[in-house]
Amino acid sequence: MHKWYVVQVLSSQEKKAKKALEERIQTHGMGELIDQVVLPIENVSEVKRGQQRVVEKRLWPGYLLVKMTLTDDSWMFVKDTSGIVDFLGGAKPTELSDTEIDTLLSDLEARKSKVTQKHKLQPGDKVKITDGVFVNFIGTVTEVFHEKGRLSVMVSIFGRETRVDDLEFWQVEEVSEDAVAE
């Protein structure tokens, strides 16, 4: 009976390891023992150099999900695939429970149909400006333009509120309320 397992792969080699495993399954006729290989990803919108683009982001860097019947042969077959390090659980691979895998797969399915924003900043968030004329100033986000990759921040200069427009996301970093109080 097929169960789901988490397989550790070389970091940033997830796609190569998935492709290598799928090709080996086909060429060695292991389809009956190894049913499915999943790379958990989501589509993320980001703006670089003024251009908005959607990129795939790995949800679990360094890991794949494999649905298989665990035997000594299938275990060694997967482990011997280029780019694969080991099963989660090591010598005794740990299978995912039905509840865990149902939750994971439904979450992945929901993420397929939507594009998330790389930057989660919203009006009212506190940020520190890390680049430009107002470097090291802490302010409050007033507007966010995800499609342009820009935002506006209100900072206090000599006790006066001043709006800083046209900041790019990379020019600010989110700060906690604790950091603002210091």
CATH fit for domain 126-181, picks 3.20.20.70, 2.30.30.30, 3.30.1360.40, 1.20.58.340: 2.30.30.30
Contact call for residues 65 and 38 (beta carbons, < 8 A):
yes
pTM, two decimal places: 0.64
Please tell me the predicted confidence (pLDDT) of residue 115.
61
Weakest-pLDDT range from 39-43, 108-112, 152-156: 108-112
- The class (CATH top level) of 3-117 is alpha beta
Ordered alpha helix ranges (H), the chain: 14-28, 72-79, 98-112, 177-181
* CA–CA separation, 12 and 14 (whole Å): 6
Q: What is the pLDDT of residues 145-181, one digit of tens each?
A: 877 778 899 999 888 998 998 888 878 888 876 555 5
Contact call for residues 156 and 139 (beta carbons, < 8 A):
yes
Contact call for residues 127 and 142 (beta carbons, < 8 A):
no
Nearest of 122, 146, 163 to residue 46 by alpha carbon: 146
- Whether the pLDDT of residue 9 is over 60: the answer is yes
